[in-house]
Amino acid sequence: MSIKENYQRIMEQIEDLKAKKHISYPITIVAVTKTFGPEVVKEAVEAGIHHIGENRVQEAEEKFSKLQDLSFTRHLIGSLQSNKINKALQWFDVIQSVESVSLAEGISKRLQRTLPIFVEVNTSFETSKHGARPDEALDLIAQIKELPNLFITGLMTVGPLTEDEKKIREAFRLLRKLRDDAQKWFSHPLQLSMGMSDDFLVAIEEGSTMVRLGRVLFGSRR
């Protein structure tokens, strides 16, 4: 199936789920193009996808530099090292992986514009995952909120690597609770970026407003 056909099928699944669960808010799809070339990004955008996610700054630079005549929102969804901040700010419109005050400060002091960010939280408690500890997340959000030029759009997490749906739901529910607790500090509704190819429908059931999809759109990584 083509990217457009896969996208349409996914949108139908999401719309069916929204109707079943009485979900009225929009769900944003971020197409994750890791390991795929610029021609795949172009095809995705032409299929109607407006948000593209990349894990690595260098790969994004190589790809996006060939697509500067194409209009789409560029999300950094992978971990950001402090020595890559300048390059990341050149190529990304949104950074979804802010996990510490020091990283947020490093981004803030280099900005000459307002940058949307997500605070990443490790709600699966897996040592292989990035993100702030859940018990530190609210304090982190409160500190980042005071930094200039950063606009906290929402919270992000990566679901646990398991087929145990109960554990997956617990991780997503924890992020939703943290979002609900933090919402009192913000006048705009905070988004929840959670759910990938294997668990995006579960994530939407648990309150996700943004899902990050690679394999279900593009097939196996190259």
In a domain, 64, yes or no: yes
In a domain, 41, yes or no: no
In a domain, 49, yes or no: no
* Token pair belonging to 3: 């990217």
Q: In 109-210, where does DSSP find H-type helix?
A: 134-145, 165-182, 200-205
Domain of residue 141, residue span: 55-206
CATH code of residue 133: 3.20.20.10
In a domain, 26, yes or no: no
- Contact of 192 with 120, CB cutoff 8 Å: no
Query: According to the model, what pLDDT value does residue 127 have?
Result: 87
In a domain, 24, yes or no: no
In a domain, 15, yes or no: no
Helix (H, G, I), strand (E, B) or coil at 17: helix
* Strand partners of residue 120: 156
What is the count of structural domains for the chain?
Answer: 1
In a domain, 211, yes or no: no
Q: What is the pTM of this model?
A: 0.95
Q: What is the pLDDT along the chain (222 residues), one digit of tens a residue?
A: 899 999 999 999 999 999 999 999 999 999 999 999 999 999 999 999 999 999 999 999 999 999 999 999 999 999 999 999 999 999 999 999 999 999 999 999 999 999 999 999 999 999 889 999 999 999 999 999 999 999 999 999 999 989 999 999 999 999 999 999 999 999 999 999 999 999 999 999 999 999 999 999 999 876
